[in-house]
Amino acid sequence: MNSVERTDVLVIGSGFGGAIAAYHLAAGGAKVVVLERGPWLSSGEYEHDFKLGSSYTRIFDFVVGDGMSVLGGNCVGGGSVVYFAAMPRAPRFVFERRGSIARRMWPAAIDRDTLDPWYDRVEESIPITRQGWDDVSYAGGLWAAACRHAGRTANPVPAAVDTSTCVNCNWMMAGCRFDAKQSLLLNYLPAALAHGAQIRPLHEVQRISKTGDGGYRVHYLHVNDEDYRLTEGSGTIDAKVIVIAAGAAATPVILQRSEPDLGPMPYGVGRYFSGNGERLNTAVLNEDKVRDVLGLDRGDGLAYAANQIGKGPTVANWDRLDGSLPEYTRYSLEQLYFPPGLGTILALTDGPDASWFGPRKKEMLKRWQSWLIIFQMIEDDNEGVFGPPPERGNADRLSQQMLGVGRLSYKPTANTQAAWAMADADCKDILERDGLATVTPWTNDLVGAYTVHPLASCRIGDDPHTSALDDRHEVRGHPGIFVTDGSAVPGALTVNPAMTISALAERAVPGIVRAAQERGVEVTYGAPAPDGSTSGRRGTAHLVPSLMRK
């Protein structure tokens, strides 16, 4: 029983970065195995239930760090199953950002123009809807009306949601029961399976070692399907090429833990983490003012009182996404639904004795249906650093599911804090006009800052001192190991990042195919979109030769 399992390409993680790579490599003829630490649920298993042990806690992970907590997916399909499906492209100025290193942080090869064809390829593969005002939820409409009242614009957000089947239940973080959300389980992953890729859930990769023939050995633990604190055995798989896409809170941890076997890691592994500059504000609306000042009426006697209704974010204010403004003053303000469970404890009462608990907080909760949550995405300073890895995975798991303590440390710089303060003031300015609402930011005192979009902990770049990956996503000094998830994004994007993570993963594939070919794998590049469409492939064809260069 000592036979060693071998594959051509081993993909760690099945979110955007993993699924896109797995599909193209399998379609190109490579033998692909995907290891996913979380369970594999189908749409019938997605529950509308906050009970611990329901799909909500099985597929969602909350890792508490020192100064930064990270929320992410933990299932086959990764973030795409639990996310709110906002899919905007990053604004042009983002690619010119300098951030904490005082020079352009993106590789010279990438700007908005060179990434647009890859965005197009994603848009052909994951159906994305430009939402109309009929699709916009009451909460989004309220945010739009408040923005107009304050002299601002407001945009319905492009989303990977089939609005014809969406029932606006706002249970997106528990998985979409109605297959309205176009998660990877509906496009890239089934296409990868059809081309022979294997996906193995509840396989938590711990580390990578060398095989002696230029290949790699991946070491994993089987995770219990109900109590993730427990493991049930272990195993290894050998592969010629490794694609790590475990998420920006886990990918660097796997590489750190592999360092004794693989040799020194680039300085950027586990450094430059960005929380995408995220922060939340809660507005508690005065229903009478919503009617009188904004002229809104649901037609059923209510002006708003619809916090529970919708599909995550539907409308964003993008007035500050202006490349002529200085760095750290550009941000989105996006209406967002955040469910109870984690979505109320950090909200603060207003007034001088702001508190997250107590009698006044209880009174605030009574008005929960009149809450409007605004999501800020500012430019942060890539302050996050990962400490030494925990015993297994990326966290010491506290609860049977969902809650663990990780090793990420994040101390916001003056730039980040000033940007948050500016965005806080802007939210207040828009929503407190004429007594519409009282607005308070969520406290960072309890679990630090928090992000649902961890980025940059193993990023691409041209400078080996500040980027763990070259511009083709290969880990510097470790040929044949690639990173294609949010870790690879150089910094905060000022918008939701799934679209950019996906476009970068699409762009990384030709280089991974080339590396596999050099390692003797019979694989070609050039698969169409998962549904067979080919215009995205045509649009990127001129960019492929340079990405497949030796």
Query: What residues between 485 and 544 interact with another protein by CB under 8 A?
Result: 499
**Segment contacting another protein by CB under 8 A, of 5-13, 17-25, 137-145, 241-249:** 137-145
Q: How far is the CB of 21 from another protein (least distance, A)?
A: 24
Q: Determine if 445 is a binding residue for another protein (CB under 8 A).
A: yes
Strands 68-73 and 449-451: parallel
- 430 makes contact with another protein (CB under 8 A): no
Cβ 466 to another protein, closest distance in Å? 27
Q: Does 29 bind another protein (CB under 8 A)?
A: no
Q: Which of 130, 235, 236, 477 binds another protein (CB under 8 A)?
A: 130
- Which of 5, 96, 103, 153 is close enough to bind another protein by CB under 8 A? 153
Question: What is the rounded distance in angstroms from the CA atom of residue 408 to the CA atom of residue 401?
Answer: 19
Q: Which of 2, 3, 44, 51 binds another protein (CB under 8 A)?
A: 51
Q: In this chain, which of 99, 156, 247, 266 binds another protein, going by CB under 8 A?
A: 156
Among 55, 74, 131, 467, binds another protein (CB under 8 A): 131
**Which positions from 159 to 198 touch another protein by CB under 8 A, shown as an x/- string?**
--------xxxxx-----x---------------------
Where does this chain touch another protein (CB under 8 A) — which range of 19-27, 362-370, 376-384, 525-533? 362-370
Distance CA 326, CA 81 (A): 35
Regarding 88 and contact with another protein (CB under 8 A), the answer is yes
Long-range CB contacts (within 8 A, 24+) of 519-525: 519/214, 519/215, 519/240, 519/241, 519/480, 520/240, 521/8, 521/9, 521/30, 521/240, 521/241, 522/29, 522/30, 523/8, 523/25, 523/28, 523/29, 523/30, 524/28, 524/29, 525/24, 525/28
Q: Which amino acid is at 475?
A: V
| Site for another protein, residues 277 to 296, rule: CB under 8 A | 296
Cβ-based nearer residue to another protein, 245 or 321: 321
**Residue 326 backbone dihedrals phi, psi, to 5 degrees:** -65, 150
Q: What angle, rounded to 10 degrees, do the helices at 112-125 and 498-518 form?
A: 90
Looking at residues 390 to 409 of the shown chain, list those that interact with another protein (rule: CB under 8 A).
397-401, 403, 405
Site for another protein contains 42 (CB under 8 A)? no
133 binds another protein (CB under 8 A): yes
Nearer to another protein by Cβ, of 434 and 463: the residue is 434
Could you say which residues in the range 321-360 bind another protein, by CB under 8 A?
A: 321, 339-341, 343-345, 355, 357-359
Scanning residues 97 to 126, which ones bind another protein (CB under 8 A)? 123
Residue 381: count of CB within 10 angstroms of its CB: 24
Residues 6+ apart with CB under 8 A from 491: 94, 97, 99, 105, 272, 274, 379, 380, 382, 455, 456, 459
Tell me the longest C-alpha to C-alpha distance in the chain: 75
By rule CB under 8 A, what count of residues binds another protein? 82
Among 5, 42, 49, 435, binds another protein (CB under 8 A): 49
The letter for the amino acid at 329 is: T
Q: What is the number of other CB atoms lying within 10 angstroms of the CB of residue 108?
A: 10
- Binding another protein by CB under 8 A: which of 6, 210, 222, 229? 229
In angstroms, give the least distance from the CB of 104 to another protein: 20
Binding string to another protein for residues 52 to 81, with x set by CB under 8 A, is what? xxx---------x-----------------
Q: How far is the CB of 170 from another protein (least distance, A)?
A: 8
Segment near another protein (CB under 8 A); pick from 50-58, 277-285, 378-386, 472-480? 50-58
The residue (of 198 and 443) whose beta carbon lies closer to another protein is: 443
Q: What is the 3-state secondary structure (H, E, C) of 255-322?
A: HHHHHHHHCCCCCCCCCCEECCCEEEEEEEECHHHHHHHHCCCCCCCCCCCCCCCECCCCEEECCCCC
Helices (H), 86-200: 112-125, 138-149, 188-194
Please state, in angstroms and as integers, the Cα–Cα distance from residue 380 to each residue in 70, 94, 319, 416, following that order.
15, 12, 18, 5
SS3 state of residue 241: strand
